[in-house]
Structures are given as C-alpha cells and as structure tokens.
C-alpha cells in the first residue's frame, strides 16, 4: 500500500514542481527513488516529528504541496500541537501520511499502536481524514489529496494488504462504497479490516443473515447521505475499525445517526472499547484478541440479531 502511494506521488511530482516530501528519518526502501529523482524537494529532518510538521507548514505557506511521512502514532500524537497550530490553523497544504495505522506494529507494543489518531485528526478544523482499505483505494486517496487545498491525513497500513478493488477502478473517494448489499446487517469498515468484514459477511450469509459490506475510505468529511440511507435500510449497523470506538469511525457514524429523526438502525461499534492495547503480538493475534477478526465479527453480529432483534424492529 505505502509503496503504491509513494510511486503515485512520485509520478505526480514529475508534472508539479510544488510537490515536496519530508520524512522524520523513516521510509528507507520506500522514499529513496523520490529522493534520488527530486533531491531538492526531499528533506529528512531526523527523528523530530514536531519540527517536521512545522517545517512542512512553512513550506506549504510558500506555495508548495508538502507530504510528510512517518509511522502512524509518531506522525500524529507526537506532533499534534504543531499539526493543530501550524498546519490546520493556517489551512496549510500539507498531506500527512502515516504508515502502520492500528495494529500494524503489533509486536512493538502500545507505544507503536496508532489507535487514537483518527479521533485526533477528525477533531481538527480544515483536516480531511482518509483510511484506505487496499492499494487501489490508497492510490486514489493520494491522487485526490494532492489536488485539494488544505490539510489531509492519510492513514496507511503496512502489511502487504490484498487488493480488494479492480485495478484502475474509478472511485469517488469521498463517498461510501458498497462492496455487497443485504437487508439485515450492514458492516461499515475502514482500512484493512474491510477484508475481515468481507470474510465475516460470507460467514453470516452461510447462516442466512443477509449482510451488506461498505467501505469508508473518507472518515472526514463523512458521506452523511449514504449513512442515512443505510440506517433506514438495515436493522443493524456494525462499524469495524482498528481504533478506539470513541471518536473514530464508529463515533463519526454515531454523530450522524444522532441527527436522524424517526426509526433507524441500531449501531454497534467494534474496535478498542476505551482501552489500551496492553498485549503484544502480531497483527492477526491482536485482531483476534480484540474481536476484530472475521469470525469474531460474525459471532458479534449473530449475537446482536438474536438477543436484540425484537427491540430493533
């Protein structure tokens, strides 16, 4: 995913001399080609993410399009004051690329897990927030982000995610995309957990539970019209994300549902339940432990429909 995004940015930079890349001593094996091709537009500022954000804001205010690159939690949590005060307050044309969102760095422990970043970025005025699910969505997001003015946050995975979309498919990246349609439950996912949602839907269909799966690559601005339509069509909505349920995708959906009058779907948020990832392990192990693997998603949905079905009518 990250390689495809950087390659896309490199191609765009060929025709747009305003595009610059700043890294905080990361991206080895990924950014070398850009640095070699455009040495005057590539800056490694060392392990100083706060300075990276401020420097990027300054470059952007001089008329450039600046891409910053770091690990998920470092790109956001460490530099949040500079992102808020320097980038977002000035509506600077900076695109923050965070690699390894969620549990991607699972074996390095909670200090390397980016599980609050979506909430933080969503709360900042002027900031757009993107969480692509596969390389095709990621490239589309990058191409779009570099054409719009203002700050963007792009949260990438780093595990060689499977391709879920046909290559070259034309996607409106600010819209919610229906992977499959159903009538009973809608699984709304962002990032690589979309694949787990798709697999969970297959298991649920085998148990005669009609399941729709929807990809949400753009968490802010959220496609509120699509959320409202889904809420009126389905009995249950389940959000699926590698993030705290507070303030992330599930929180964003809850905000939309709170303004819908009349009957609507019941929302259940799958993610970290206001807790730290206190265990250490590989990506699959963490997803299984926190109930985000396909079998756990399917089990949760089945339980919701069987125990709460009457109250959701």
The predicted structure's pLDDT at residue 163? 78
The answer to the question of residue 166 being in a domain is no
Q: Is the pLDDT of residue 310 over 50?
A: no
Specify whether 38 is located in the same domain as 183: no
Specify whether 143 is located in the same domain as 217: no
The predicted structure's pLDDT at residue 168? 60
Residue 270 CA to residue 290 CA, distance in Å, equals 9
pLDDT one-digit tens code per residue, 103-147: 988 888 888 899 999 999 999 999 999 999 999 999 999 999 999
Residue 169's pLDDT band (cuts 50, 70, 90)? low
Where in the sequence is the domain holding 39, given as residue range(s)? 2-156
Q: Is the pLDDT of residue 312 over 50?
A: no
- Which CATH number characterizes residue 274's domain? 3.40.50.920
Domain boundary, last residue among 95, 123, 156: 156
The answer to the question of residue 182 being in a domain is yes
The answer to the question of residue 161 being in a domain is no
Specify whether 8 is located in the same domain as 150: yes
Specify whether 212 is located in the same domain as 271: yes
Q: Say which residue, 308 or 10, is predicted with more confidence.
A: 10
The predicted structure's pLDDT at residue 279? 87
Q: Average pLDDT, stretch 147-176? A: 84
The answer to the question of residue 88 being in a domain is yes
Q: Percent of the chain at pLDDT above 90?
A: 81
The answer to the question of residue 163 being in a domain is no
Asked whether 22 and 54 are in contact (CB, 8 A), the reply is no
The answer to the question of residue 192 being in a domain is yes
The predicted structure's pLDDT at residue 29? 84
The answer to the question of residue 101 being in a domain is yes
Specify whether 183 is located in the same domain as 102: no
pLDDT one-digit tens code per residue, 20-62: 999 999 888 889 999 999 999 999 999 999 999 999 999 999 9
Specify whether 7 is located in the same domain as 152: yes
Domain boundary, last residue among 156, 190, 218: 156
Specify whether 131 is located in the same domain as 192: no
The answer to the question of residue 164 being in a domain is no
Residue 166's pLDDT band (cuts 50, 70, 90)? low
Specify whether 40 is located in the same domain as 152: yes
The predicted structure's pLDDT at residue 162? 75
Residue 16 CA to residue 31 CA, distance in Å, equals 18
The predicted structure's pLDDT at residue 313? 44
Residue 308's pLDDT band (cuts 50, 70, 90)? low
pLDDT one-digit tens code per residue, 257-294: 999 988 899 999 999 999 998 888 888 999 999 999 99
Residue 187 CA to residue 178 CA, distance in Å, equals 10
Specify whether 41 is located in the same domain as 87: yes
Give the total number of structural domains in the chain: 2
Q: Average pLDDT, stretch 81-87? A: 98
Specify whether 65 is located in the same domain as 205: no
Specify whether 142 is located in the same domain as 216: no
Specify whether 42 is located in the same domain as 143: yes
**pLDDT, averaged across the chain:** 93
Q: Is the pLDDT of residue 165 over 90?
A: no
- The C-alpha angle 10, 15, 20, rounded to 5 degrees, equals 50
pLDDT one-digit tens code per residue, 222-253: 999 999 999 999 999 999 999 999 999 999 99
Paired tokens of 70: 């770091």
Residue in this structure with the two tokens 């089990």, named with its chain if needed: 299
Q: Average pLDDT, stretch 200-205? A: 97
Q: How far is CA 184 from the centre of its chain?
A: 26
Strand order in 42-44's β-sheet?
A: 42-44, 19-23, 65-71, 94-99, 152-156, 128-130, 218-220
């Amino acid at each position: 995913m990250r390689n495809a995004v950087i390659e896309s940015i490199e191609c765009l930079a060929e025709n747009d001399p305003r595009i610059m890349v700043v890294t905080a001593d990361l991206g080895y094996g990924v950014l070398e080609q850009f640095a070699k091709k455009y040495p005057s537009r590539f800056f490694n500022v060392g392990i100083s993410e706060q300075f990276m954000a401020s420097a990027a804001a300054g470059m952007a205010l001089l008329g450039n399009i600046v891409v910053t690159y770091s690990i998920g939690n470092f790109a956001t949590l460490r530099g949040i004051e500079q992102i808020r005060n320097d980038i977002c307050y000035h509506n600077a044309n900076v695109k923050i690329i965070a690699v390894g969102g969620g549990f991607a760095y699972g074996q390095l422990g909670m200090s390397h897990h980016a599980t609050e970043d979506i909430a933080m970025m969503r709360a900042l005025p002027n900031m757009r927030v993107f969480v692509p699910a596969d390389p095709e969505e990621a490239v589309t997001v990058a191409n779009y982000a570099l054409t719009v003015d203002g700050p963007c946050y792009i949260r990438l995975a780093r595990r060689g995610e499977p391709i879920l979309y046909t290559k070259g498919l034309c996607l409106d990246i600010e819209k919610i995309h229906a992977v499959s349609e159903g009538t009973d439950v809608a699984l709304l996912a962002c990032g690589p957990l979309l694949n787990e949602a798709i697999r969970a839907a297959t298991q649920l269909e085998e148990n005669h539970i009609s399941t729709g799966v929807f990809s949400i690559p753009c968490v802010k601005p959220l496609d509120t019209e699509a959320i409202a339509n889904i809420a009126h069509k389905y009995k249950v909505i389940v959000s699926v994300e590698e993030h705290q349920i507070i303030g992330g995708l599930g929180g964003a959906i809850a905000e939309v549902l709170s303004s819908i009058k009349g009957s609507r779907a019941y929302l259940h948020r799958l993610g970290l339940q206001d807790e730290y990832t206190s265990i250490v392990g590989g990506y699959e192990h963490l997803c299984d432990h926190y109930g985000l693997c396909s079998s756990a998603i399917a089990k949760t949905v089945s339980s919701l429909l069987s125990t709460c079905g009457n109250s959701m009518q």
